[in-house]
Amino acid sequence: MIGGLMFASFSLAAQSPAAPAYREPFRPQLHFSPREKWANDPNGLVYYNGVYHLFFQHYPGDIIWGPMHWGHATSKDLIHWRQQPIALYPDSLGYIFSGCVVVDSANTSGFGQKGKAPMVAIFTHHDPAGEKKGNNDYQYQSLAYSLDNGHTWTKYRQNPVLKNPGIADFRDPNVMWYKPGKKWVMTLATKDRVTFYSSRDLKSWTKESEFGEDQGAHGGVWECPNLFPMQLDGATYWVLLVSINPGGPNGGSATQYFIGQFDGKKFYTGGSTTKWIDYGPDDYAGITWNNTGKRKIFLGWMSNWIYANQVPTAAWRNAMTLPRQLRLVRPVGGGIYLSSLPVQELNSQAAKPVMLNGVPIDTLTDLSGRIGLSATQYKLTLHSDTLKDFFITFSNLQGQQMALGYDKASNRWYIDRGLSGNTDFNKEFPKKFFSPRIADSKALDLTVVMDAASLELFADDGLTVMTAVFFPDAPLNRLHIGTKEPWKIRRVTYTPLRSIW
Ligand code: FRU
């Protein structure tokens, strides 16, 4: 989203200025959020020397979108984050928009010194003056490098390295080393498609091909692409993530993906169904970490441009999703899909779980007492050999609730945040969101991760994922499950999760 900022009138929901950092109302306790002020897309995800780096679109001056910087946070385990000084500031070429970081081990760029490989950031410079004038060439790609493990960054003197050919939306470079061709490949969002470029030295770029003008969803502009190989049954497939805004399956921002082949120049795909990495309203601009070998870990921005500037937090605005491990899977019925599940490192936060076996469920079964929900954040897993039409509500004594369930007649999962508390800052917010069920197994396999202000649903071993944020006045720690037909759930497991802060 660029421009069109909305200034919200929001209720401050008992927000006290004296609240200690990371303990304010609505503050995520399992997810990364900026200590202060505005955040959007994750940028420059890279693993290097034992550290996961998370850069992010950041405006340190306010809790609304503004002149973009790259914020920075680091983690050793993807769960506990430490915010670092701002990595990149706007300059005479413009704001610092989204992009990536690569480790240039062979020093192809020549930025390395004394045998030290550079980390190189490839990002979009966005010139607000050019945009205001109505030009169409105000976005171009630039470089910065770090020789001290990402702590400090030097911008390349000859920026930009990829000039704008006259396309107003020309941004969000994502670069990978293409081993067979011994070259770098950049995937760039170019309005209604992606364009691939290649380079030997990260400085001079040649256009290779375009993809997508006639593929996938086109309800809005394409943004934040990410191309990477993955394995399934001994074969290599290429996955291309493309965010789109608006035009998501539930309105506004969302991320579609394509599975195909890439030959160093061109991306090919056969499928015609549009696939979404997350069908909920709040997972956008997600990309994967570079330099993690075969393991692919995804992180998205947990918001939606429809209301991102209006949600009722005061010290900061917007968080990231949980890091999710991606796998390729081939469900019965054909086709190849991505499955995403929270990274196993999240288990380090687990307190003692409560397990219920053979749980009889009728029209409305209150499990609050048996489970003794006391935590603000927790994981709930449900396993059963049968899957019925059912719903779960997570509620508080004020009657605020998040609901989710499976609608058998339409074979869809859903999340309903209509009654979730503070919802009146945008009329698109209090809604029910649906997602097709992709799996066709008879069994129930559901994991839900609840945080202070978000719910992430992972159904059918991560084949269908839905993320939604919400803003209750008190934790939703009462649990009900209901069904239209009598049912017994084989196992319900409730695991309180400790705060990461
Ligand atoms: C996606 C996006 C990117 C852009 C950045 C600006 O959310 O619009 O395309 O680089 O945000 O903050």
Is 445 annotated as catalytic? no
Res 18: pLDDT = 57
Give the span between the Cα atoms of 421 and 397, in whole angstroms: 11
Q: Tell me what pLDDT residue 240 has.
A: 98
How far away, in angstroms, is 40 Cα from ligand 1 center?
8
Question: Contact 259/271 with Cβ under 8 angstroms?
Answer: yes
- Residue to probe by mutation, ligand 1, list 62, 188, 224, most atoms within 8 Å of CB: 224
Distance 134 CA to ligand 1 centre (A): 18
In short, whether 172's Cβ falls inside 6 Å of ligand 1 is yes
Judge whether 300 and 285 are in contact, CB under 8 Å: yes
CA distance 42 to 224: 10
Q: Where are the beta strands (DSSP E) in 371-477?
A: 378-384, 390-395, 401-407, 412-416, 432-436, 444-451, 454-459, 464-469
Average pLDDT of the segment spanning 460-481 = 97
What contacts 107, CB < 8 A, 6 or more positions away?
Answer: 117, 118
Q: The pTM is what?
A: 0.96
282 lines ligand 1 (CB under 6 A): no
Query: Encoding tokens for residue 147?
Result: 């020789």
* pLDDT computed for residue 80 by the predictor: 98
Q: Identify the pLDDT of residue 1.
A: 46
* pLDDT at position 14 over 80: no
- Site to probe by mutation for ligand 1, drawn from 58, 138, 171 as the one with most ligand atoms within 8 Å of Cβ, is 171
What pLDDT band is residue 6 in, cutting at 50, 70 and 90?
Answer: very low
The per-residue pLDDT for 41 is 98
Residue 350, pLDDT score? 98
C-alpha torsion sign, points 359, 372, 448, 10:
positive
User: Of 316-325, 372-381, 441-450, 474-483, which range is least confident?
Assistant: 372-381
Report pLDDT for 20.
78
One-letter amino acid of 187: T
293, with CB counted inside 10 A (0-12, 13-18, 19+), is exposed
Nearest CA owner, ligand 1 atom 6 = 97
pLDDT of 17-42, one tens digit each? 556 789 999 999 999 999 999 999 99
pLDDT above 90 as % of the chain? 92
Spell 400-430 as b/e; 16+ CB within 10 A means b: bbbbbbbeeeeebbbbbbebbbbbebbeebb
Residue 152 has pLDDT above 70, yes or no: yes
C-beta separation of 143 from 159 below 8 A: yes
Q: What is the arithmetic mean of pLDDT over 108-112?
A: 98
Q: Measured in Å, how far apart are the chain's first and last C-alpha atoms?
A: 30
Can you give the C-alpha Rg of the chain in angstroms? Answer: 22
| Close Cβ partners of 44 (under 8 Å, ≥ 6 residues apart) | 53, 54, 55, 70, 87, 99, 100, 101, 121, 123
Is any atom of ligand 1 closer than 6 Å to the C-beta of 283?
Answer: no
Residue 230 Cα to ligand 1 midpoint, Å, equals 26
User: For 173-177, 319-323, 333-337, 384-388, which range has the lowest pLDDT when averaged over its residues?
Assistant: 333-337
* Statement: residue 7 has pLDDT above 50: no
54-58, 204-208, 361-365, 424-428: which has the minimum mean pLDDT? 361-365
Query: Residue 151 above 50 pLDDT?
Result: yes
